[in-house]
Amino acid sequence: MAATALLAVIFTAYIGLGIPDSLLGSAWPAIYPEFNVDVSSVSLVSFIISLGTIVSSFSSERVVKKLKTAPTMVLSTALTVIALIGCSFSKNMLWLCVFAVVQGLGAGSVDVALNNFVAKHFSASHMNFLHCFYGVGVALSPYLMSLFIRDNMRWRMGYRTMFYIQLAILTVLILSMPLWKKMSSEEYGDGFKNKKPVKFSVLCKNPAIRIQWLVFVGSCCIEAACLVWGSTFLVNARGLSPEYGAKLVTFYFAGLTLGRFISGFAVNKLSSEKIVYIGQGITLAAILILLLTKNAFFGTAGLFLVGLGNGPLFPNMTQLTVKYFDSSISGSVIGTQMGFSYVAILLSPIVFGWLSRLCGIGFFPCYLGICFILMFVSTVLLSCRVKKQSATN
């Protein structure tokens, strides 16, 4: 019973982790005309958010070791609450960037802490459902934002509404603190206790770890591009209004959530490795749809399928980390995976922003295809490396 209650709290925290991530991309078609900046300026804000998250991710092992998982979760969520209300009152790009720093710092450590905790103490099914609830958060934000954009482009009210929801989640997390204290430290340790942080240089010497970083990079480049540019792609390349662009990009997040939900059940019959490959097959089909069709319907369907296929990769590859690597380093490996994932999330919108200036927003499907190739080739190489290591041992 206590374990079920703890999982409910963790899943709630992951909804809160997803809420801020999709707000910027869905609101941007309404923000940039008001601030009188170029459409590609979203890359700057995204860069700052991701930079803060990278710093937080790579320092997560030390943070969680000092504060423990539950306080880290509460502190990180509190920072995102501040960021949401701050963004809603921002009058120009400068203030938007200031609160982007706060949002970024609030995301990294809690992501690593919860992923490491669930990977060590729960099943692959639970890991998929954990990331499914992240999908609930990122799907909820653009849908609600679309309602306010429809109402005279009132994106600020969209941010404030999500602030109230995030504040409610923070309250739940604070009230759950006694539950964490009740749990046995032997059964539900943080995963970092009494372990010295493994040096980054040591992890770099392991070829399998390096290859797995590239899998996460490719997948997160796809996710970040859809997160930040999906709505703008539907508006500028497929002819939708900002209102419908924000609303229909929700199908991407719905696909991501559904993919992880289905994976949560499928992983009981199929291995995580097979689920990753099936997801990549769906992602490839989705990219081909975006490449070969030009209307809004197929654009929306393509984004939905990208989310459906790419969504299960992150939780299943994270769960496989505990299988592929010794428990003495798995927490450190997960921390670096999150760090490199956020490097990809940081750079991907910027790279595509630069490419969109050269080639136009219509280059979006080609960019997703390039990211897919990196992800797929790295996945194959990782599987070969792990099998070779297993045969040697």
pLDDT tens digits, residue range 113-129?
787 778 777 777 888 88
Sign of the torsion formed by the C-alpha atoms of 163, 169, 172 and 174: negative
Which residue from 96, 112, 131, 16 is spatially nearest to 55, judged by alpha carbons? 112
Structural domain range at position 86: 2-181+195-392
Q: Could you identify the residue written with the tokens 């662009």?
A: 245
How many residues are present in the chain? 393
Q: Is the CB of residue 364 less than 8 Å from the CB of residue 233?
A: yes
Cα–Cα distance, 22 to 143 (Å, whole number): 10
What's the confidence (pLDDT) of residue 282?
A: 96
pLDDT per residue of the chain (393 residues) written in tens, 0 to 9: 667 788 888 888 888 888 888 788 778 888 888 888 887 788 788 788 878 888 887 777 777 777 787 888 888 899 999 999 999 999 899 999 999 999 988 877 777 778 777 877 777 788 888 888 877 887 788 778 888 887 666 888 889 999 999 999 999 999 988 888 766 444 455 555 545 667 777 888 888 889 999 999 999 999 889 877 888 888 888 877 776 776 677 788 789 889 988 998 898 888 889 999 999 999 999 999 999 988 888 988 999 999 999 999 988 998 888 788 776 677 778 878 888 888 888 788 889 988 988 888 889 999 999 999 999 999 999 988 888 776 665
Cα–Cα distance, 226 to 232 (Å, whole number): 9
186 within some domain: no
Distances (CA, A) of 207 to 26, 211, 381: 38, 6, 10
What's the confidence (pLDDT) of residue 215?
A: 95
189 within some domain: no
pTM over 0.85: no
310 within some domain: yes
| 207-236 and 250-266 helices, crossing angle to 10° | 140
What's the confidence (pLDDT) of residue 187?
A: 46
Residue 87 sits in a domain of what CATH number?
Answer: 1.20.1250.20
188 within some domain: no
Per-residue model confidence as pLDDT tens digits over 234-277:
888 887 777 677 667 778 878 988 998 899 889 888 888 999 99
Q: Is the CB of residue 352 less than 8 Å from the CB of residue 42?
A: no
136 within some domain: yes
Cα–Cα distance, 272 to 263 (Å, whole number): 9
Which residue from 223, 236, 222, 252 is spatially nearest to 294, judged by alpha carbons? 236
Residues with Cβ < 8 Å from 288, sequence gap 6 or more? Answer: none
What's the confidence (pLDDT) of residue 197?
A: 66
Q: Give the chain's domain count.
A: 1
What's the confidence (pLDDT) of residue 46?
A: 79
**How would you write 38-59 as a 3-class SS string?**
CHHHHHHHHHHHHHHHHHHHHC
187 within some domain: no
85 within some domain: yes
Q: DSSP letters along 298-362, please?
A: HHHHHHHHHHHHHTTHHHHHHHHHHHHS-HHHHHHHHHHHHHHHHHHHHHHHHHHHHHHHHH-GG
- Maximum CA extent, the chain: 64
Cα–Cα distance, 278 to 122 (Å, whole number): 23
131 within some domain: yes
- Stated as kind and residue range, the H or E segment containing 259 is helix 250-266
